[in-house]
């Protein structure tokens, strides 16, 4: 990779971080303008908007990935999953574009070529697997399922400030995903 290309890449990421943080015009063109590069350059470095967004929030993604073994080492599987999902939700609350990218990519992972999404999915897969082994998640549930169900929670927080509602919905989801330990006599699937 040539040095000017490398430099442009960094400038794009910087400009993107600024533009995405400020609400308002978040078009790819405005990012290119702010970075002082042509639209073609931006498009070549990042083949899709989602690819760019995941790179911009690369640190947050890394943090989520490395947190998995720590959480699993110190907490029971069910709680580890819960804490990790809360952290994921917080990232989406801080950076609405991250939430948007997650929703889009979860809906159609194959179409957007975002390899930065794969580690996140892998991290969640580990948590799901451990929970399945422990019998603390409804069997058959995949990481994609969890992300799909989580999607609406980001949209609620992006609009208004009703954090209470978001928490309530999260509890509802978790109750569905991880049949409560107090209901051991119902082996998941015996509901009328």
Partner DNA sequence: ACCTGAACACCGTTCAAGT
Q: Could you list the residues that contact a second copy (CB under 8 A)?
A: 78-79, 107-108, 138, 140-141, 145, 148-149, 151-152, 155-156, 159, 165, 168-169, 171-183, 185-186, 189-192
117-134 helix and 143-159 helix, angle to the nearest 10 degrees: 120
Residue 22 touches DNA, criterion: CB under 7 A: no
Joined tokens for residue 8: 């442009």
Q: Which stretch binds DNA (CB under 7 A): 40-48, 67-75, 131-139, 156-164?
A: 40-48
Minimum distance from residue 182 beta carbon to a second copy (Å): 4
Compute CA distances 67 → 57, 61, 144, 147, whole Å: 16, 10, 19, 17
Please tell me the distance from the alpha carbon of residue 47 to that of residue 134, in angstroms, as a whole number. Answer: 40
Minimum distance from residue 178 beta carbon to a second copy (Å): 8
Q: Within a 10 A sphere around the Cβ of 150, how many other Cβ atoms?
A: 22
Residue 45 touches DNA, criterion: CB under 7 A: yes
Q: Which residue has the tokens 């070549």?
A: 44
Taken as a whole, the chain contains a residue count of 192
Residue 38 touches DNA, criterion: CB under 7 A: yes
- Radius of gyration in angstroms for the set of CA atoms belonging to the chain, rounded to a whole number: 19
Residue 49 touches DNA, criterion: CB under 7 A: yes
Rank residues 43 and 170 by Cβ distance to DNA and give the closer one. 43
Q: Which residue ranges make up the site for DNA (CB under 7 A)?
A: 1-2, 4-5, 8, 25, 27-30, 36-41, 43-45, 48-49
């Amino acid at each position: 990779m040539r040095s000017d290309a490398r430099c442009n890449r960094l400038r794009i990421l910087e400009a993107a971080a600024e533009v995405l943080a400020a609400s308002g015009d978040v078009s790819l063109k405005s990012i290119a303008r702010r970075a002082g590069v042509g639209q073609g350059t931006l498009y070549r470095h990042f083949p899709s908007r989602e690819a760019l967004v995941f790179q911009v929030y690369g640190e947050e993604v890394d943090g989520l990935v490395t947190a998995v073994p720590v959480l699993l080492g110190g907490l029971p599987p069910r709680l580890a999953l819960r804490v990790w999902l809360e952290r994921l939700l917080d990232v989406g609350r801080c950076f609405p574009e991250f939430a948007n990218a997650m929703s889009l990519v979860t809906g159609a992972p194959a179409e957007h070529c975002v390899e930065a999404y794969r580690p996140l999915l892998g991290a969640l897969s580990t948590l799901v697997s451990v929970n399945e082994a422990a019998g603390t998640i409804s069997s058959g549930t995949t990481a994609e399922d969890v992300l799909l169900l989580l999607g609406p929670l980001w949209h609620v927080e992006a609009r208004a400030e009703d954090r209470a509602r978001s928490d309530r919905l999260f509890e509802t989801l978790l109750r569905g995903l991880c049949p409560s330990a107090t209901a051991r006599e119902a082996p998941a699937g015996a509901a009328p």
